[in-house]
Amino acid sequence: MTIQTVETLIEGGKATAAPPLGPALGPLGVNIGDIVAAINKKTESFKGMQVPVMVDVDDKTKEFSIRVGTPPASALIKKEAGVKKGSGRPQEEFVADLVIEQIIKIAKMKEDALLGKEMKEKVKEIVGTCNSMGIKVEGIKASEAMKQIAEGKFDKQILSGKTELSNEEKASLEEERKKMQAELAEKHAKAEGEAKKIIETMQGKDRSAIVAKLHDADIHEDVINRLLPAEEKKDEGSAEAPKEEPKE
């Protein structure tokens, strides 16, 4: 028995017989429509994300099996949270909040790739990723949620395996996400406005003095670097050598 394997990357739930999948499967003599349908069924929970898929085909019987990889945990978290990116200041600013059921859902999707033996440990791994992305869990910092998970606060939910949310719960989380995003935008706009005023009043002074003043005003480094780019250092080795006086 010889197994031929076709590997491809498709958007979850949107595989078609078009390239690259169709032409790769065609020479194997299999029913492409059946394979496409099977792939879409297996990847429907990954809609909107690119998913690695491997199709194993038996040369003799034409039977096939499908193996589906999963996107990184961070991609699944962003999708579940409804955000395009995590926080640039994950321990200070938060871009979304997930409930434990959503964390369990992601842990189940990544189950084979996680290190923990028990689901509780796998859930903690996902919460750890949330911590590095500025995503809250159950309304608190992910690091605090990690402690509560270890203490057994969410054992009942983890044991039940519940992952689906009601429409009311989804609406509440979406409302909270919008509120958090609006608060962050307002905070950033205020900080940038304050920074611009300081820079304007200190025009002509050394950059180091202006930066010190901005730090005193608690302006974040990324705002400072954007509004007051560091001066480029001249390459000493590229300095033009002094010209020799012509010899008489």
DSSP 8-class letter at 247:
P
134 pLDDT above the threshold of 90: yes
- Structure letter (DSSP) for residue 236: G
Instruction: List pLDDT tens digits, range 43-55.
Output: 887 877 788 899 9
The pLDDT mean for the chain works out to 87
Give the whole-angstrom CA distance, residue 144 versus residue 33.
Answer: 48
Class of domain 3-68: alpha beta
What type of residue is 178? Answer: K
pLDDT of res. 224: 84
Which CATH superfamily groups domain 73-165?
A: Ribosomal protein L11/L12, C-terminal domain (1.10.10.250)
The residues spanned by each domain of the chain are 3-68, 73-165, 178-227
Taking a C-beta distance cutoff of 8 angstroms, is the pair 130, 142 a contact? Answer: yes
Taking alpha carbons only, the member of 59, 55, 57, 32 closest to residue 43 is 55
Tell me the Cα Rg of the chain: 27
